[in-house]
A and B are shown apart, each in its own frame.
Chain A
């Protein structure tokens, strides 16, 4: 029995090595002509970005206001992360694939660029109707191509790049931009507001149920650049949309900063489902390189009975630092958060959510599954606040951590602030490793140790994966397999 155990342990170590050695398969760079501006950040750079994008005056003013506020701020350091000093003057704030003035059809897209997105498995061509996903592809700082636009337009849905929206729908942008995440919100949000390049804008009109999944695909390509995109989703009364976000980056030794903002506004009875499969380059096995993913994501459930659902699968990035949040303002509004965060090698993650209950009869649900392997540190940090007037608020949080290996860390920092006695708030968390008994049971049923671990981990994260749209669920499962399978020591 003892011998068996030793062998099993050795086996597991071997598998661990094999599997955690899995290469990052999106690490290629695309050789494409890119227009960049010089490194560094000052007021002129902000003006230049605005000018390049041919923005109206009010937009420039907005940027400058944010920039002058950012100058007064300091980079926060409260997270359980070890962040090497970021030199904000050593970043290129604008990089765009050189392109012809206007894209009319698919043929106009640079073939090299098209090949890139094909390689990533992103269907840019509208012919691929079967995949049923409308895509907005963002390369470096610029939205490259948005598909299915016409189909959506018939229903009155606006799905376009952010810069396009600034030109064509200034009223909507003026009304909603910054209404959920003000430029004063935090250090990285202020920076984004000053230098943001592009992103996606979605507006779903009253009573419309978006027939297909909307998706943005982010790709960092140029070196030394930072990516600062922003997404704004407005769902009017009784509407519904499911939105997906995916991201990859080339393999490089340097760290690149990604500081995005996602804002969601839902009106009465509207529902938004936002899913992220985040697979930025995580750095190599020694922890060199990788993306810093410092994103501010927040949803405002403004209307009664509105609902926002965040689902995230975080497998990439050297450092992940984000808290997709819900401000439950409308009565009976619902916020849900499902997360799988996987860290390996030297990755660090400090992620979670904030549920702010303001309206009456609001509900929130948090399911967070952390998996840490290698020498990584994985923290869940979450806030549930029930304001004084939020009668009958209900929250349930479940935060589990799975440890694979004895050099990694898993941490849980939940904050519960309850100011109303009719609230029912529960938080539960467990931390454990995969039980030897579970593996043993699978072994006796004829499964190899590797398969057994795959099975157990998949079962462990199922609750979250189930929330993803089908296409993404498959991708997410594959990703998990790459980063984890067999990595139990």
Chain B
């Protein structure tokens, strides 16, 4: 099922792939999902793969990534393989509810129902689209901005599976929900995971998504997550990206907020090939609060691009954005953030900051913090800095007998600390602290954040890179 052909236009490959597999795509999903496909592929056909002329992709050219040939799995053949080796480990109890996704497919043998409060629905996107069409009718593809980004439209066209989470009124899920996304294949592979999260009034949930690659093939992951956060609900989404450098990871998150709701998203890109994170937050009611954070640490020739769009559509909302990046070797980074304050969204408070460290003279950073404001009674600010480690601090540390490398690590860690501390789930924060330190020490070949990576003591396990 790989895409053949070399001299045709890249977009054509995807369009014919879509046409050839439409039947397969629709077998597993409900009408609600199927009905959106045509519009999605049409937008993709019209706009094509974004190149540098598309303002939002000015600093990231994804065409080479899309030009390659990848295999796809539209019939979840992955589950026919012998997966015991992936799951035979003793799950170290992380005090989290852990589920697995393999190549974008929700692993059907995940066992979670017992540990969840009553009424909570969690499981496969595809299965729930059939069993709960009403929820899908109300929320599916309502928040994703297909028009804005042709890659989101491409995901809508190919969407089949991913995770689905529904938390009814007033239910609080105390434990973090850990979603482990595994990419494993014997050939170059491409996936379009699609996730949907619905939190009803006063509900609370924290999700931690861990992205991993377990085989050394090229991967292209173009995922979309939609979340609807109703009145007074609280939602955290932590995404930990730890993939080898043959990976292209495009992740788009769309969050719609209702009155008094509170959300936090955090993109931690620790290792990747090419990563593009999109975060769209739409504050559609008064008194919403949203916090959008990100940390990326890149070396070699990695490329990380964070894009965010914070839409203050109604008055009295608060948003805070902080992205920090550390770039080593020939890594390149990009940040583009837009705060939009719509007419009449008075009393808006919106803050945005992007700080970057360049460690070598071959690393590059492009940053574009933007404000678009149509209301007058607002407080908005943005800031961006690009610099290197402070010489005075370095001198101080060295005068105290700390070696150059150690001092460097300490200072980098101090730089990242601000944004790591924004994590508001303690258990997760603890883990990330450790991970980030390992990254700076160059020791991160496994992350221990899921049972999967923690098992390599026997020599049989997998490393993330």
Hey, which bits of chain A sit against chain B, CB under 8 A? Answer: 78, 80, 388, 401, 403-433, 489
Contact = CB atoms under 8 A, between A and B. Distances in A.
A412 B382 contact: yes
A429 B362 CA distance: 28
B371 A417 contact: no
B457 to A, nearest CB: 38
B380 interface: yes
Nearest to A412: B371
Given A430-B380, A431-B380, A414 B368 contact: yes
Contact of B384 (A404, A411, A414, A489): A414
B359 A421 contact: yes
B interface SS class: strand
The 7 closest A-B pairs by CB, nearest first: A421-B358, A403-B376, A412-B371, A431-B380, A418-B386, A427-B384, A430-B381
Interface string B353-373: 000101111111111111111
B343 A407 contact: yes
B79 interface: no
B373 A409 contact: yes
B385 A427 contact: yes
Nearest to A407: B343
A412 B370 contact: yes
Given A408-B376, A425-B386, A419 B364 contact: yes
A343 to B, nearest CB: 13
Interface of B: 55, 343-344, 346, 356, 358-388
Nearest to A396: B385
A460 B187 CA distance: 61
Contacts of A405: 376
Contacts of A78: 55
Contacts of B373: 401, 403, 409-411, 431
A301 B365 CA distance: 25
Given A403-B376, A404-B376, A388 B361 contact: yes
A416 B386 contact: yes
B286 to A, nearest CB: 16
Given A421-B358, A432-B379, A433-B378, A406 B386 contact: no
A415 B58 CA distance: 11
B371 A424 contact: no
B385 A417 contact: no
A354 to B, nearest CB: 14
Contacts of B378: 403, 431-433
A431 B163 CA distance: 40
6 contacts: A403-B376, A418-B356, A421-B362, A423-B386, A426-B387, A429-B383
B385 A425 contact: yes
Given A411-B372, A415-B366, A429 B386 contact: no
A409 B343 CA distance: 8
B313 to A, nearest CB: 15
A416 B383 contact: no
Contacts of B386: 416, 418, 423-425
B383 A426 contact: yes
Contacts of A422: 361, 388
Contacts of A403: 373, 375-376, 378
Nearest to A409: B374
Given A423-B386, A425-B385, A427-B382, 8 more contacts: A403-B376, A406-B375, A409-B373, A411-B370, A411-B371, A411-B372, A427-B369, A427-B383
Contacts of A401: 371, 373
A433 B376 CA distance: 6
B298 to A, nearest CB: 13
Contacts of A421: 358-363, 388
Contacts of B381: 428-431
A186 to B, nearest CB: 16
